[in-house]
Chains A and B, each alone.
Chain A
Amino acid sequence: MKSLIELNNISFEYNNNKILKNINLEIKEGEKIALIGKSGAGKTTLISILNGTKRQTYGDIKIYGKNFNNLYNSQKRKIGTIWQDLRLIDDLSAEQNVNCGLLSNQNLIFTFKNLLNISSFHKAHKCMELCQLNSRIYSKNLKNISGGQKQRIAISRSIIQEPEILFADEPFNNLDPKLCDYLKNLFISRLNNYKIKFPNTILFSLHKIELIDGFTRVIGLKNGEISLDISKR
């Protein structure tokens, strides 16, 4: 399998506190990684470094064999993120929020159409249906819907982007166990009836140990260091 991401001696400091210490990691194409660890272990920081929103204090990171800043836009677009705090736009409707995931592949006209609520929501509806969202909430403003529904909207926004690599920070928060299992299997099997291309390589940070079932690799973080790295294959 081709190596997609390489982390060499990555450290991250914030206010003189070492959040991550000398992380060495290689992520290969097609891997389904579960990142586990207690609160404050450094999971969110690691994901932020991987998606390029935080810069490591020391060390070197390569994605597709290049530094993050040297990646082509077309390569950056292949990377998706589901944030722990969702980061959706409260004043837009559910379908408009999901359509925002298409920003990477569309032009300015599409953006205006989406904000004016006159774009096509066909693909957004498919993704939301896939996440078992009820059609009644599609056009609802985010202020009027529950936490679990918002969580699935954030997941739908990442699915519509059709990334090759997906980083997710506790993506199954606020969901009941049945839905957690369903969505996890969707990402692992990548099988669906809607011809939506699911990410081939995923790294999900998880807070519940029982969710690691099905992942091909489990990485444990403790006090900013890798304490566990098991490949199931």
Chain B
Amino acid sequence: MQKLKLDHTLISFLPILVFLPITYQIINDFHIGGLELFLDFVKAAFTPKINNQIINISITRLNETLFIAFTSWLISIIFGCFLGILSSDIFYKLIRIPVLIKYLLRFILNIIRSIHELVWCLILMQIFGINISIGILAICLPFIAINAKVISEQLELVSADLIESITTLNGNNFSSLITLIWSPIIKTIKNFGFYRLECSIRSTAILGLFGIGGIGTSIFLSFQALNFNEMWTYIFSISSLILFFKLILKQVKIQRINSNFILLIICISILITFYSIYFLINLLINNYYLSNLLLSKNIFLNFINLPDNYLKSIFDTITLSIFSSGIAISVPPFLLLISQNKYFIITLRFFAFIIRIIPPTIIILILLMFNEPSLSLAAITLGFYNAGITFKLLNDNLSEIDRNNYLAFKSIGLSNRSSWLIGLFIKQSKSYLSYCAYRSDIIFRETAIVSIVGSIGLGWQLKESLSSFAWNEVFIIIFSYSSIAIIGELLNDKIKSKLI
């Protein structure tokens, strides 16, 4: 008997099987208690509230959102570059300091990166209280670590031959280092930096739902007051902001950056660096609660007093991220396989955009109108939110590749679906899966967002422990989050290296 051979195309569709347990649970937990409310919510999308007061609030809140997002983006780029250089191999090839620093730094950055900005935000809010600067700090922490990783990965691509060639010029070691890393850093900021700004805006909106300020706070307050018309106005205004940014970035094609502009950026970066360090030291020194907390005994990793249902929470979190990843991977190719009709794809694109814009916390609250809180509900929320992102990537990539094969298969009488599958998708499946492996790392971190509201997993446990100031439990949960994320990332790296 012939063995079943799983290829990349099949693996892209296979995760659709997660819908079997999910659908079973969703059907079992279904109720129509919130139907009227849901209809109001849908109707409100077509009649957003527009008056002077709402417009003024929107503008003020968007300004706040932009301020938080832009400041955290700028700080995370500056510190990300600096730490990315410090954690790259090339730095230690040219500057003679112990390599141990690199490993230590990478370890710390991995831990910081593995924890979602929302988790950072909740912890920091508990210690320092609610204010905008805490929101900025919460976004900056994981974003700095993410940027540092990207920068250091790009610097690893500098060829050994080029390093050899510049070092044989026997200049000052710092001069050689800067000459070698300059172009890869500028290129990374140009290609990746602006995308991070969009991520920063999205994160600001999510943190806003937890009270940090900006448009997210208004969305959540109007949702809580069941003022859906107002809520849609805010959602449309943040959507317009993101679209506006995308439009500008599409128009601005930077060919050569003006040197005076770079000089100005360097000066601003130095000022921001010093101010950020001053701000952080000030924040840490002047907080009595933090100093008392750090001085108190047995708050760090005391595994004797585990939180209730600790192991179940870990299991739920891992299952949630597997289910969500399954949805995010399989739904986009499945939908595109159904039909290649132009209008169908435009509709899908519109829904993918909307689902990316509405914060997952709101989506899960809407779904709770029909269902009991459950793992499946959280998985659907997180899965479809990420499917919006994977759909965009897949659709963009498919529209860029050569369609000759697709047309050739169609011309020999194959159906549209078969032609799409073997003429188009097959070419993209490998790189699509490779991106999905990376996306599943992010999905694991994002489980915190839905699990806090959806009453499952480590996120919920964290919220409970924070509410009761059980810092020992908080540390255990953070430790667990971080460990699972790092193990998951190592596994995904292996998958990616096999795929590429």
Residues of B within 8 A of A87 (CB): 161-162, 164-166
Task: Verify B170–A111 contact, CB threshold 8 A.
Answer: no
- Assuming A87-B164, A92-B183, A115-B179, is B169 touching A104 (CB within 8 A)? yes
Residues of B within 8 A of A105 (CB): 171
Task: Verify B263–A116 contact, CB threshold 8 A.
Answer: yes
Task: Verify A103–B187 contact, CB threshold 8 A.
Answer: no
Task: Verify B169–A161 contact, CB threshold 8 A.
Answer: yes
- The CA of A100 and the CA of B180, in the complex, are separated in Å by 10
Question: Which residues of chain A (112-126) have a CB below 8 Å from chain B?
Answer: 112, 114-118
In the complex, the chain A residue whose C-beta lies closest to that of B167 is A53
Q: How many residues of A contact B (CB 8 A)?
A: 32
A205 CB → nearest B CB, Å: 16
Residues of B within 8 A of A110 (CB): 175
- The CA of A92 and the CA of B180, in the complex, are separated in Å by 11
Residues of B within 8 A of A106 (CB): 171, 175
Contact of A103 among B176, B186, B259 (CB under 8 A): B176
Q: Does A81 sit at the interface, judged by CB under 8 A?
A: yes
- The CA of A83 and the CA of B186, in the complex, are separated in Å by 26
Task: Verify A76–B170 contact, CB threshold 8 A.
Answer: yes
Task: Verify A83–B165 contact, CB threshold 8 A.
Answer: yes
**Interface of B, helix, strand, loop or mixed by DSSP:** helix
B187 CB → nearest A CB, Å: 7
Residues of A within 8 A of B178 (CB): 108, 111-112, 115
Contact of B171 among A53, A90, A103 (CB under 8 A): A103
Residues of A within 8 A of B164 (CB): 53, 87
Question: Which residues of chain A (70-117) have a CB below 8 Å from chain B?
Answer: 73, 76-77, 79, 81, 83, 85, 87, 89-92, 100-101, 103-108, 110-112, 114-117
Task: Verify B168–A53 contact, CB threshold 8 A.
Answer: yes
Q: Does B2 sit at the interface, judged by CB under 8 A?
A: no
- The CA of A116 and the CA of B264, in the complex, are separated in Å by 11
Task: Verify B168–A51 contact, CB threshold 8 A.
Answer: yes
> Looking at B174, B178, B186, B187, which has the most chain A CB atoms within 10 Å of its CB?
B178
Task: Verify B259–A116 contact, CB threshold 8 A.
Answer: yes
- The CA of A92 and the CA of B181, in the complex, are separated in Å by 12
Q: Does B286 sit at the interface, judged by CB under 8 A?
A: no
Residues of B within 8 A of A114 (CB): 179
Q: Does B172 sit at the interface, judged by CB under 8 A?
A: yes
B290 CB → nearest A CB, Å: 39
Task: Verify B168–A103 contact, CB threshold 8 A.
Answer: no
Residues of A within 8 A of B343 (CB): none
Q: Does A52 sit at the interface, judged by CB under 8 A?
A: yes
- The CA of A195 and the CA of B423, in the complex, are separated in Å by 64
Residues of A within 8 A of B183 (CB): 89-92
Task: Verify A107–B172 contact, CB threshold 8 A.
Answer: yes
The 28 sampled A-B contact pairs (Cβ below 8 Å) are A52-B168, A73-B170, A79-B168, A87-B162, A87-B166, A89-B179, A90-B183, A91-B183, A91-B187, A100-B169, A103-B176, A103-B179, A104-B169, A105-B171, A106-B171, A106-B175, A107-B175, A108-B175, A111-B171, A111-B172, A111-B174, A111-B178, A114-B179, A115-B178, A115-B182, A116-B263, A118-B259, A118-B263
